Amino acid sequence: MRVHRTTQLLRWISAAMVLGAILALGPGAEAQRRKRRTPKSAPTAEPAAPPASAPASDAGAAAPNGDPSTTGTGTPNGAVESGAPASPAASAEPVPAADKEEPAPDYTAIRSEFTDVMDAIVQLRSRVAVLGRQLFQTRVRVQIHNRAGDTQSLARLTLTLDGAPIHKLDAGALGDEERQVFDGFAAPGPHVLAVELEQRSRDNDNYRYTMRDSYRFEVERGKATVVMLVLDDDSGIGEDFPDDGEGEYDVRTRVRVVTRELGDE
C-alpha cells in the first residue's frame, strides 16, 4: 500500500516538474517560434508582448510593466535582433581612396613638332626671298595684233596667264595696230597663255564664231619675254552665203614669243 502511494507521489512530483519546466521555457520557446516565423530580409522585427500566463519567476528577464521601450525578451523595441541582417543604412560606407597625384604632362612631342614647323617656316622664307629676287628680275609682256580686217566685229576677248585673267574686252573694235595688254612680273619657267575670242560678221551678225586656244611658253630668268598674239580672219561667209549659198570661216590665231634683255628695252 505504501509502495503504491510512493509511486503515485513520484508521478505527481514528475508531473509538477515537467509542468514547471514547460512554464519556465514557455516564453523562450515562444520567442524562438516567432523568430523562425519572422523573414530574415525584414530590417526590423517587432516581438510580440510576453504571454499573460508567464510565471512571476521570469519577471526579472522582462522589462518593468508600463515601459513601452522594451519587450518581454529584453530586446529594445524597434531594435534589430542578432539573427537579422543589418540594414543598408547601418552598413559602413567604403572610405574613398585618396586621390593620387597626377603626373605632369609630357610636352616633348609638342616641342618637337613646334621646332619642325619653325624650321619649315625659316626655309620657306628663304625660298620666298630667293623667288622674290628672281621674280622682280623677270618680266612678261603680252601684245595683240588684230589682222581680221573690217569684215569682222569683236564681241568678246579674254586673255588669261596661268589661269588668271590679264585682259578682257567686250563689244569693241581692236583695230589693226599692235596693242600691249599686259606688262608684269613672272617667275622663271613654263607658263600658259589662254585665248577666248568671239567675233561676228559685220554684214550679218547671225554668222559668228567662238574660239578657244592655249599656248605654252618659257620665261627666262633675268630677261623680258614678249608674247605677241596675232588674230587672222579671212572669213567671208556673212557676205558670200546670202548671195550664192556658199561661204566659209577662215579663222586662226598665232603666237610669237621673243626674249629680250632688260637693259635693251
Residue after which a domain boundary falls, among 13, 32, 61: 61
Q: What is the pLDDT of residues 234-261, one digit of tens each?
A: 887 777 777 788 878 778 889 999 999 8
> Is 162:179 a contact under the CB 8 Å cutoff?
no
For residue 26, the model assigns a pLDDT of: 55
In a domain, 116, yes or no: no
Q: Which residue has the higher pLDDT, 225 or 74?
A: 225
Please choose, from the candidates 213, 206, 199, 212, the residue with its C-alpha nearest in 3D space to the C-alpha of residue 151.
199
In a domain, 78, yes or no: no
For residue 56, the model assigns a pLDDT of: 42
Domain count of the fold of the chain: 2
Q: What is the CATH number of the domain that holds 217?
A: 2.60.40
At 260, the amino acid letter reads: R
Does residue 89 surpass a pLDDT of 60?
no
Q: Which of 2-16, 20-34, 204-218 has the lowest mean pLDDT?
A: 20-34
Q: Which of 78-87, 108-117, 190-199, 205-214 has the lowest mean pLDDT?
A: 78-87
Does residue 41 surpass a pLDDT of 80?
no
Both 151 and 257 in one domain: the answer is yes
Q: Which residue has the higher pLDDT, 118 or 61?
A: 118
In a domain, 219, yes or no: yes
Confidence of residue 6 (pLDDT cuts 50, 70, 90): low
Output the DSSP codes for 159-209: EEETTEEEEEEES----SSEEEEEEEE--SEEEEEEEEEEEEESS-TTSEE
Q: What is the pLDDT of residues 100-137, one digit of tens each?
A: 677 788 888 898 898 999 889 988 888 877 776 666 78
Please choose, from the candidates 178, 190, 258, the residue with its C-alpha nearest in 3D space to the C-alpha of residue 223.
258
> Is 113:160 a contact under the CB 8 Å cutoff?
no
Q: Which domain holds residue 209?
A: 138-264
For residue 146, the model assigns a pLDDT of: 83
Residue after which a domain boundary falls, among 23, 40, 61: 61
In a domain, 126, yes or no: no
At 7, the amino acid letter reads: T
At 236, the amino acid letter reads: G
